[in-house]
Amino acid sequence: MSIWLIMPISYLRNKMKIKIKKLHPDAIIPNYAHTNDAGLDLYSVEKVEMKPNKRKSIPIGVAIEIPAGHAGLIWDKSGLSHKYGIKTFGGVIDSGYIGEIKIGLMNLSGKKFSFEKGHKIAQLFIQKVEKVKFEEVDDLSYTDRGEKGFGSTGR
C-alpha cells in the first residue's frame, strides 16, 4: 500500500532560493527534518567538546547568500537546550555577510557535552526584515499596560 503526501502546488512554487557554498568537504547542507518545520537544521563539521559553563564558536562549513531584505536567525535545537543546557547566542546573520557561518554555543550545564562531526547543533530561520525610521516624540500613545514591565501580569 502506498501513501502519497499531497502538497499544494503553491507550497512548492513559492520556496525562496538561497545560494549556498560548501567550504568544507564534510559540510551538510542545512535542511528541514520534517515538511512543516520552521527551522533548517545546522550541523557541526568537527568533533567538539564543550566544558561546563563555557562557550565556543562552532563552524558549520558553509556560507550562504541571504537575499536583501532578509536575515538569518540562529536558534536553539529544543532537545539540546532542554535536555543538556546547550544554548545559542549571537544569532543574527545579515544579508550582506557571505562568510562561513559559525554557531555560538554555551554549555549552561554542570557537565561536559560533546558533539560529533555531523551532529545537529542549531537551527536557522530566514525572516523578512522591516526597515524602520524613528520619529522622536514627546509622548507615546496610551496602552492598557503602559510602563508596567517585568512581572506586571502577576508572575
The per-residue pLDDT for 104 is: 97
Cα–Cα distance for residue pair 48/56, rounded to 1 Å: 9
Mean pLDDT by 10 residues, the chain (155 residues): 54 79 98 95 97 96 97 96 95 96 97 96 97 96 87 70
**DSSP assignment of 50-78:** E-TT-EEEEEEEEEEEPPTTEEEEEE--H
pTM equals 0.83
The per-residue pLDDT for 146 is: 86
